[in-house]
Amino acid sequence: PRHKCGNQKSCPQNYFAFKIVSGAANVVGPSICFEDLVLMSSIKNNIGRGLNIALVNGTTGQLLKTESFDMYSG
C-alpha cells in the first residue's frame, strides 16, 4: 500500500505525516512533504541554498509560510 509522502509506514491517528529530504549539492534540491502535499521543492521553485523552512499550524496542518535562509552568504 502507498503511504502519505512516500513513507514506509502510515502514521498513527491524530498525527501528521511528513518527509524532509536534504539536497545533494546543487544537483538535487531539498523537498518538504506534509500530509501528502509537497510544500517545498525545486519543481515548485521555492527552495534556496541553506536552510529551507516550512511553518505549519500544528493543530490544523495548514501551511502558514515557507522561507529559505542562505547561511553561506549571511
Residue 34: Cβ-neighbour burial (10 angstroms; 0-12, 13-18, 19+)? buried
What confidence tier does 73 reach under pLDDT thresholds 50, 70, 90?
confident
Q: What pLDDT is stored for residue 19 in this prediction? A: 96
3-state percent breakdown (helix, strand, coil) of the chain, nearest 5? 5, 35, 60
> Rounded to two decimals, what is the model's pTM?
0.85
For the chain, what is the radius of gyration of the CA atoms? 13
Q: What pLDDT is stored for residue 74 in this prediction? A: 66
pLDDT tens, residue by residue, 16-72 = 999 999 987 677 889 999 999 999 999 999 998 889 999 999 999 999 999 999 888
Residue holding cell 549539492?
Answer: 25
Give the count of beta carbons closer than 10 Å to the beta carbon of residue 21. Answer: 15
Helix (H, G, I), strand (E, B) or coil at 4: helix
Helix (H, G, I), strand (E, B) or coil at 17: coil
